[in-house]
Amino acid sequence: MSTTHYDPKNIEETYYPIWENRGYFEIDGNRSIAKPDKHFAIMMPPPNVTGRLHIGHSLTFTLQDIIVRYKRMDGYMTLWQPGTDHAGIATQNVVEKQLLAEGKTKEELGREAFLERVWAWKEESGGIMVGQLRKLGVSPAWSRERFTMDEGLKSSVKEAFVHLYNQNLIVRGNYMVNWCTHDGALSDIEVEHEEHQGNFYHMRYPFSDGSGHIVVATTRPETYFGDTAIMVHPDDERYLHLIGKSVTLPLINRDIKIIADSHVDREFGTGVVKVTPAHDTNDYEVGKRHDLEFITVFDEKGILNHHAGEFEGLERLEARAVIVKRLEEAGFIEKIEEHTHQVGHCYRCKNIVEPYISKQWFVRSEVARGSIDKTNAGLTQFFPPHWINSYNAWMGDLRDWCISRQLWWGHRIPVFYCDDCGHEWASLEEHPSSCPHCSSKSFAQDPDVLDTWFSSALWPFSTLGWGNGDTAGDQLFQSEDMARFYPNTLLITGFDILFFWVARMMMMGESFTGELPFNHIYLHALVRDEHGQKMSKSKGNVIDPLDMVEKYSADALRFTLAVLAVQGRDIRLSNDRLEQSRNFTNKLFNASKFLQMNVPTFKDLADQEITTPLGRYMLSRFHRATAETRAFLDEYRFNDAATVLYRFLWNEFCDWGIELGKASKESVNELGSIFKESMKLLHPFMPFITEYLYHELSGTSLEEGNSIMIMAYPDNTQTDEAIEAEFAIIMDAIVTIRRAKTLVDLGNQKIDLAYLKCGGDQAMMDPFISRLAKVETLHFTESKIDNAISDIGDAVEVYLPTDAIDLSPIIERLTKQREKLQKEADKLRGMLSNERFVANAPESVIAENRNGLADAEDKIGKIDAQLSSLGN
């Protein structure tokens, strides 16, 4: 596929299908170099089946692909497990909205017909992101792609549920839960707390004996119908005499007691708190401590019930204004104050979440005990390491996990209830034939489904066959894949789902297998815009990764994300950065073309004898880059590895190696072989252009030959310190001579003579220095040269004789510059010596003048030094 310019779009569209169709992405795709005892496994965080590729996904999957390609080339049998998540709430919402647009509801369709509709939508539109991921050049084992509701994983979910149920680690009961009136029960981590501008309503509760009233402040007056006590602090002297008295609830005339509890904050509000045990998390605990009545005042849809009296039938939030107006009219509102506070919202639909008592299924927190202990024993390592502190803090306060969801789309809870004897049981069977207790045929399955995170918590091992089989016993949990790839070697994901997903996988993996699911966990930060702002559509700063691939190429986007991926630091992505990476691809392309101007094709490095000094030097630098790249990749320091590659290929090879090669034509064959081998080193980061250039330099094509992606990753790290020291002197001499020439306005012109004081192999150095510094004759000296322009480098001294240079124009120019600067300095000095000026001028003006004087004097000193060096 020879061409005169690099066309990334054509290369990407041509190469990816070849890689995939040849099976390179599969476990044995690198069979020619694989070592059977080396295994590497990483799980793709399954994107929602409703999802579209965003920049955060691009970062996750780019980093995963880099490490997978590296390990594959390094001889590991590599499994990168792909798949998608059924995303219970999100997917059901999509289809429900479609039905509403048609004037229908899911209830009108019925459960079975609705689920058929969801499956049809999933097959038609779901998994779009999987296709988008191919645009990035990622290389998971697509033939093994799983869906969290496919038949095998359904079996795993049932197996996990029944196992925990039978151990009494999954229980059902009335608990206070986070309740979304649209989506039902939510776990704690599915509630997003946002600052909300609301009101503090100061309500008067009259004493039942008619002796006055007490003022209670609340942000949710619509819940007061469920109050079953008024609470004060037991040490609050203001209210001690009231403990035990009764008050009458406004409008509904129900009497409740005043109790004392240390939960009350005496300094907040009035120091008097209403207790609504069925609608407040803290009040729920107070209610249990004091054996209070639990009164639920609205239903699952947020509609007020008969306990709300005249307000029955109103929606909870819409009712607030109506209730407050009625209380004001009746004289029960003392005042209303603005109040800013945190309000929980559903992470999916953004509806305000209510604390609500509901009968739900829970995984007991004891399930996590083993994973906590083993993590603290160091059996899983976090990158960056500080994340273990956040993990432990959250796990230490872990509450029972609510896993039931009031949805139709998802894994239906495999629990059945007998209509005749009331027996409850969990079953692995899809359709049990009868009640195991009384043999009745009359029973029903629990209508709820499991939290999406329950099935994705099994992802590291359910995808490897755990619980997927038809046989019982140990064979159900063991498979060749489990033996080879569990625990997974590495997890890469965003820190923002540490508690949603990572912690769940840790607890479930350890609970079912006895081992933590990951050896290493790498949590990357957020991708922000160039100003550090979080990307959002409202700000108009969203970067679409597919647009960036189209504009800059997949390689440029991947390399940019990698080079910015500093552990523990947010990424600031900009078009300038992407442009820089695209320029890098052009630099590589042009380097290849320059080499091929001299030699059409090049041998593999293993077949090329390296004998020239320049070849030996570049080989040593290549080996050094290999050692550094490997070390950084092994520590998941992607940005450092990318920086090493950029420095070597752009700065060392292209800027110096190719330029030095102009003075050593015999080294071009060697340079071409080294550059070709360096494409293997870069390949995990920029798979498309490296594949293309490797074949260009080899005189082959991917269509007819083997891919670079299944060739061995470079591993020779032997360096030649002596030759590197020699070339350090050569490059220092070239830079220093060029700098000395600029002093006398000779810039890029060729000069007749230069003297060089340095160590090293002078005969070897001479051709490189003379050619690149543009010196006709180079004399090596051991002493200072008089009547010469001099400059000193890190390892050399340079002298340019002045007898062959017309210095008069240079001296004249410098003299005029000095005179101008001297006038400016004299003026500033005069102003600063004027006491009246100093006394009246603003301090900022004085400081500015002082800085100006110091700058002028510094420049004068430099010009004097230059004039002195010119013998003037």
Note the pLDDT tens digit of each residue in 672-698: 999 999 999 999 999 999 999 999 999
Helix, strand or coil, per DSSP, at residue 111: helix
Using CA atoms, how far apart are residues 169 and 425, in angstroms rounded to an integer?
14
List, as one string, the DSSP characters of 370-430.
HHHHHHHTTSSEEESTTHHHHHHHHHHT--PEE-EES-SSS-B--EEEETTT--EEE-SSS
The three-state secondary structure class of 229 is strand
CA 498, CA 504: separation in Å to the nearest integer?
Answer: 9
Give pLDDT tens digits for 27-81. Answer: 999 999 999 899 999 999 999 988 888 999 999 999 999 999 999 999 999 999 9
Q: What is the mean pLDDT of residues 451-467?
A: 95
| Residue 537 labeled ligand binder | yes
Predicted pLDDT of residue 865? 78
| Residue corresponding to tokens 């509609």 | 303
Residue predicted with more confidence, 488 or 786 = 488
Pairing of strands 39-43, 77-81: parallel
pLDDT at 67: 98
pLDDT band at residue 95 under the 50/70/90 scheme: very high
| Contact criterion met (CB below 8 Å) for 467 and 476 | yes
Q: What is the 3-state secondary structure (H, E, C) of 481-518?
A: HHHHHCCEEEEEEEHHHHHHHHHHHHHHHHHHHCCCCE
CB 20 within 8 A of CB 58: no
Q: Is 173 a residue whose pLDDT tops 70?
A: yes
CA 810, 812, 813, 818 dihedral sign is positive
Q: What is the pLDDT of residues 247-301, one digit of tens each?
A: 999 999 999 999 999 888 888 777 889 999 999 888 988 998 999 999 999 988 9
What one-letter code names the amino acid at 564?
Answer: L
Collect contacts of 594-597 with beta carbons under 8 A, ≥24 apart.
594/658, 595/658, 595/668, 595/671, 595/672, 595/675, 595/697, 596/672, 596/696, 596/697
| Under 8 Å between Cβ of 52 and 116 | no
Q: What is the spatial distance between Cα 693 and Cα 688, in angstroms, rounded to a whole number?
A: 9
What is the distance between the alpha carbons of residues 497 and 394, in angstroms, rounded to a whole number? 12
**Three-class SS state of 357:** strand
Q: Which two tokens stand for residue 50?
A: 């409703």
Per-residue pLDDT tens digits for 120-164: 999 888 778 888 999 999 999 999 999 999 999 999 999 999 999
Q: What angle do CA 141, 147, 153 make, to 5 degrees?
A: 105
For residue 680, how many C-alpha atoms fall within 13 Å in the half-sphere facing its CB? 24
The three-class DSSP label of residue 805 is coil
The answer, yes or no, to whether residue 792 has pLDDT greater than 70, is yes
pTM assigned to the model? 0.84
| Residues written for the chain | 872
Confidence label for 560 from pLDDT (cuts 50, 70 and 90): very high
- pLDDT averaged over the chain? 91
Beta strands (DSSP E) in 15-128 are 39-43, 77-81, 83-84
Domain architecture of the chain: domains with CATH: 190-349 (3.90.740.10), 554-699 (1.10.730.10), 724-801 (3.30.2320), 808-869 (1.10.287)
CB 275 within 8 A of CB 220: no
The residue among 822 and 534 whose pLDDT is bigger is 822
* The pLDDT of residue 477: 58
